[in-house]
Amino acid sequence: MSGLKLFYQIMHQRGYYPFDNPLQDGLSVALSQVEAFLEQDDHFPHPPETSGVVEPRRTHRLSQ
């Protein structure tokens, strides 16, 4: 494990590997940012009171 850790540190220092953590890649970082954005309640526009539309309750995730 220490050999792999040293390998990734050297690759990162020389610019061959762009990520600080070898277990994180661009896709996992982007997905975590999207999940954090979707957990916020203020990013969806709210319908006017007179439309009669009720916002759905988000008590559980639909999929993993």
CA distance 45 to 55: 11
What is residue 64's predicted lDDT score, i.e. its pLDDT?
A: 62
Whether 56 maps to a domain, the answer reads no
Whether 49 maps to a domain, the answer reads no
Whether 19 maps to a domain, the answer reads yes
The contacts found for 28-36 with CB under 8 angstroms, 24 or more apart, are none
How does residue 14 score in pLDDT terms, banded at 50, 70 and 90? very high
Residues near 26 by beta carbon (within 8 Å), at least 6 away in sequence:
18, 19
Whether 32 maps to a domain, the answer reads yes
Whether 60 maps to a domain, the answer reads no
- Number of structural domains found in the chain: 1
Higher per-residue pLDDT: 58 or 17: 17
pLDDT tens across 24-42, in order? Answer: 777 877 888 888 877 776 6
Q: What would the mean pLDDT of 48-57 be, rounded to a whole number?
A: 71
Whether 28 maps to a domain, the answer reads yes
Q: Which amino acid, 57?
A: R
> Structural domain of residue 28, as residue ranges?
2-38
